[in-house]
Chains A and B, each alone.
Chain A
Amino acid sequence: MKGWMGRFRALFLLSGLTLLLSGCGKPYLSALQPKGEGSEMLFNLMLLSIGIMIFVFLVVMVIYIYVVLKFRQKKGQEDHIPKQTEGSHVLETIWTVIPIILLLILAVPTVQYTFALSDTKNVPEDQEDAIWIEVTGQQYWWHFDYKDLNIQTSQELYIPTDQRVYLELTSKDVIHSFWIPTISGKMDTNPIENKNEMWIHAYEEGVYWGKCAELCGPSHSLMDFKVVAVSPGEFEQWVEDMQNVNPDEEPETVVAKEGKELFQQNSCAACHAVGSSPVAVGPNLTSFGDRTTVAGIMDYNKENIVNWLMDPEKYKPGNKMSNNYPALSEEEAGKIAEYLMTLKPSEIGLDDAEDGDYIKSQKDENNNEENTQDQE
């Protein structure tokens, strides 16, 4: 499938377009700089459609400019009455048939890709234990439940780069839409019934920005999330660490210990789980210490966590946390922040997504060893 679209790209016009468009936007956000299987397919389709459309536009503009320059009224010809042409069957047939052909050229890959992108039933053969993640959108955060692995995270989705990861999308309140422009297209999360499925596949390690694309309330524009794509070996490490989280583990410093107590006293724990738990009222905080951002939108530092805890309404209007817990003093908020920042259950974090080190999956290593042994 990639083959014949690849050939289109070889056309001079389209390769020029590729260069032009890939200058647009940030590499972690722009759909014009694809970093995943889905987004690359879509980018190719876009290029093909833009190419056809630019061709049509040029034809229209050439005729247009010629007509306007040539047939504009000249001085002294105000009374000239041109021939009243009724029409031309030949011309009209031409501009009916050519567009139809152009659209057919576009329709074939469109249908092909539409089916390919929504295919969550035919898991590739080498991937019999595909990872399925349930994605839940809520005002204004995202929850990720790695169903078979018994891992829960919120706001940050860790995926391996060597395979398609399958998502089941749903919502707990209104309709949201799950969009990671650099990796794949978007899919709506519908409340309760009408669950959707899709797959995502990042080619390269990195932290990719995700957005909510369906109006969901005042903080719709602030419902960001991140996809952390790491190499398969690192992902396995992360899974192992996350599965072995001990939520009752005591923090090392005194301040953080006090923070943990405050966390429980101020009913934070009523909504926020630390450790594996089903989707709760508030985001799961198990790996809060490894987050890239605070509340999905602010730079990750203690000051911003304190600010958020003191007045979440200021940063995400209409969120469900505001006024649902006792008011905190700055000191208390600071201690809770210290505690939250110690929640780093895994050695795998952002650095691993950004360093470019490719660590092979344990399974592949074993297979390789077996293979070499067989050969011996």
Chain B
Amino acid sequence: MSTHAAEKRGFGAVLWDYLTTVDHKKIAILYLIGGGFFFVLGGLEAMLIRIQLISPDNEFISAQFYNEVMTMHGTTMIFLAAMPLLFALMNAVVPLQIGARDVAFPFVNALGFWLFAFGGILLNLSWFVTGAPDAGWTAYAPLSIISPGHGVDFYAVGLQISGFGTLMAGINFIVTIINMRAPGMTYMRMPLFTWTTFVASILILFAFPALTVGLFEMTFDRLFGANFFKPEMGGNVIIWEHLFWIFGHPEVYILVLPAFGVFSEVIPTFSKKRLFGYSSMVFATVLIAFLGFMVWAHHMFTVGLGPIANSIFAVATMAIAVPTGIKIFNWLLTMWGGNIRITTPMLYALGFIPSFTIGGMTGVMLATAAADLQYHDSYFVVGHFHYVIVGGVVFGVLAGLTYWWPRMFGTMLDEKLGKWTFWLFFIGFHLTFFIQHFLGLMGMPRRYWKFLPDQGLDTGNLISTIGAFFMAAGAILFVWNIIITSVRNEKVSGDPWDARTLEWAIPNPTPEYNFKQIPLVRGLDPLWIEKMEGNGKMTPAEPLGDIHMPNSSFLPFMMSLGLFIAGIGVIFQVDNNSWWIVAIIGFAITLGTMFLRSIKDDLGYHIHKEDLEDKGAGVK
């Protein structure tokens, strides 16, 4: 695809292309690079945690540093690795799956990415100034309010900026999926990955404002003398917990629903069967999302909300197991009677089913509010949510990347290396996290810098650390696979997996306008229908004509950079008033570029019909 053509240009030209791009396919690659970088960083932090806990009373890292590493591991993995990697897949695939030429707002799409990137960089800048945030990724007040240094300020401001980006991305996908589907692509013909993206975006739209409000209140408490969460001044620390989890619980589904979507694409493709119970899968997705907003207080069973609230939230939480179970059985029945090819993406799907089932089971166990008094904040919970997030989301991302790699880069990741990666990662994952359920019940609370000898926790922690090294080896192998695949650069056909959905109907490399003519969709799995009932090609829904394209723009980068600079100024103005100058410069850059964007007409350009014909019209 375009990277190939770009190689012939200079490095500077490529760099400028990516800094200014508004093309969803290139933004996907940017998200992949950003998310991948933070995934590696979060993984290194995880390794520090596991090495510290390899033996009792270990002094490998100090208590304060441990808290910073543990906080940043969680924050990085959730906000800066998992979500961007999913956005990479969504950007790469969703417009193609619905037969669109781009997302609804290409400019905003780029802005969303750069806000995420600068927010993430700002957050990690804290390592080099006064230390990273140390109050856990949940940043419970008042610990986060009284935390010395600027660590938690970076947390609040950094996440605020990247949160704006996430909100924009969510809104963009909602509008795209509602408005830009190809003719015939009705809601109930949309691929499951598009459906889950759609539902996850709606979750973002409603969940992120709670985080925004919470972070603003925290920022004002720490930097401007407000008293939202200061109990001695009449503030209330429990409100932060509510705000955080009203965001935080839907966040879990924001992550895991798109992963479900990936598997709902991978399993039918490699079973050569349509998805079993498509409409109940859609219904289950919507139901999970709806219930996901009703259950946040199950993170707070020990806070003292009282038995009535705890019981209601317990039963509501259990209810989520029903639609999730429907999904598991539908996947199993999709494979039933199929012709299963065990490729790397399918291997991840097969690894996902038992792993996620265990995560779901421990989820129901946690939902029993009374028993949660034992599980809560112990390693049982750590085991549980890693089964959900690694067993669900990370497996989903790895499956999705391997599956769509040919679409994104025109090359196939090495299958043999891919399978090695899977087995290392899969075995390491179970070694690391299964034992943690037992560690928790044996009396090990979470976020422990060290455990002491003679408490029966030594063997379990050692096994867990060994598992972590297997996972690290798997991750390194994956990166190696990417490198050698890029070096080999062997292009494959546009449909290397013999797949079913619209994104595989495009030649390789994907043209910048995606579809020369918008295709006509005749049912679920449109490409498969054409393969079975037609000539294997999509029928165009429009005559060949000029294609309207958006112009590249450097403004998204500048707007985000402005907020980044302003953020630094706002954080340090408590030390010295002259930092306000920096803040004002930053805000001026952001508002100035916004103003520029408003007054300058940017009408885009057209690719003319004649140029399209030159490139071999009628192939599609």
Contact = CB atoms under 8 A, between A and B. Distances in A.
Interface in A6-30: 21, 24-26, 29-30
B267 to A, nearest CB: 11
- Please classify the interface of chain A as helix (H, G, I), strand (E, B), loop, or mixed, using the class held by over half of its residues: mixed
Interface in A62-95: 63-64, 67-68, 71-73, 77, 80-88, 91-92, 95
Interface string B316-353: 00110110011011101101111111100000001001
Contact of B361 (A56, A88, A211): A56
A32 interface: yes
Interface in A149-184: 169, 173-175, 177, 179, 181-182, 184
A41 B377 CA distance: 19
B319 A103 contact: yes
Interface in B284-338: 302-304, 306-307, 310-311, 314-315, 318-319, 321-322, 325-326, 328-330, 332-333, 335-338
B441 interface: yes
B273 interface: yes
B280 interface: yes
A209 interface: yes
Contact of A71 (B232, B271, B353): B271
B183 interface: no
Q: Could you say which of A42, A211, A215 has the most chain B C-beta atoms within 10 Å of its C-beta?
A: A215
Given A67-B336, A179-B445, A216 B318 contact: no
B303 to A, nearest CB: 5
B577 to A, nearest CB: 30
Given A82-B273, A188-B303, A68 B314 contact: no
A4 interface: no
Contact of A99 (B232, B237, B321, B338): B321
B443 A181 contact: yes
A57 B357 contact: yes
A215 B447 contact: yes
A72 B302 contact: no
A80 B237 CA distance: 62
Contacts, number: 302
A222 to B, nearest CB: 8
B142 A92 contact: no
Contacts of A56: 325, 357, 361
- Please classify the interface of chain B as helix (H, G, I), strand (E, B), loop, or mixed, using the class held by over half of its residues: helix
A30 B337 contact: no
A24 B443 CA distance: 10
B483 interface: no
B314 A111 contact: yes
A217 to B, nearest CB: 7
Given A83-B337, A110-B311, A216 B143 contact: yes
Given A30-B456, A100-B322, A190 B311 contact: no
A103 B322 contact: yes
Interface of B: 62-64, 66-67, 134-136, 140, 142-143, 146, 231-232, 236-238, 271-274, 276-280, 302-304, 306-307, 310-311, 314-315, 318-319, 321-322, 325-326, 328-330, 332-333, 335-342, 350, 353-354, 357-358, 361-362, 364-365, 367-374, 376-378, 438, 441-443, 445-452, 454-457, 532
Interface of A: 21, 24-26, 29-32, 38-39, 41-42, 45-46, 49-50, 52-53, 56-57, 60-61, 63-64, 67-68, 71-73, 77, 80-88, 91-92, 95-96, 99-100, 103, 106-107, 109-111, 113-119, 169, 173-175, 177, 179, 181-182, 184-188, 190-197, 209, 211-222, 224, 297, 317-318
17 contacts: A25-B441, A31-B374, A46-B441, A49-B371, A68-B350, A87-B330, A91-B333, A110-B315, A111-B369, A114-B369, A114-B370, A169-B304, A185-B373, A191-B142, A217-B67, A317-B62, A317-B63
